[in-house]
Structure 1
Amino acid sequence: MKNSNIYAGYRYPTQIISHAVWLYHRFTLSFRDIEELLAARSIVVSYETIRQSCKKYGSIYCNQIKNSRGQLGDTWYLDEVFIKINGVLHTLWRAVE
């Protein structure tokens, strides 16, 4: 997260809080899964602390993701498929949003 002063006065450093919130909102992980991932990196945080952090900072983080992602429909991809019909090779094109 860009604005680190929202974490002022809390026990854990900014990087740990933002990483836990990022893991929860970016992937389909439970709070206990995040607790285990952080424990594997020698960071002892309870799942309840992660839940409270996600509840408090989750909306801020989700708004930043939505703003940085861009509008739907900005990018179009062209998909092509080659099919043989009666021994003749045909190309099918379609636009994919």
Structure 2
Amino acid sequence: LVTQFGEPKVVVTDKLRGYTKPVQALAPDADHRAHKGLNNRIENSHRPTRKREKIMGRFKSPRQAQRFLPAHDQINTVFRPRRYTLPAASYRRARADAFGLWNDYTGEMNA
């Protein structure tokens, strides 16, 4: 990124001390701001992880969450295909297929 866009003037990271040396090595003249609340796109990329942590807070133990979340993620990926990678018609077809599969599975379980 430094070779493509040039050296940054400011680098914002969270308060992890391990970032200090790499930032100084890659951009020695940049102002390194270690602050949790600043608008940091790198840290915002962890949103799915943070969302899972929030969900985990509703469980009684980390073990219970670890048992639930992998199964939930598999089902979630079936019902929520990545919209930004699909045209609208393909997205609608994928959602219809997912709900069709779900109806078949639940029908078998109730029969």
Give the strand-richer structure, 1 or 2: 1
Return the TM-score normalized by structure 1: 0.28
Give the helix-richer structure, 1 or 2: 2
Return the TM-score normalized by structure 2: 0.25
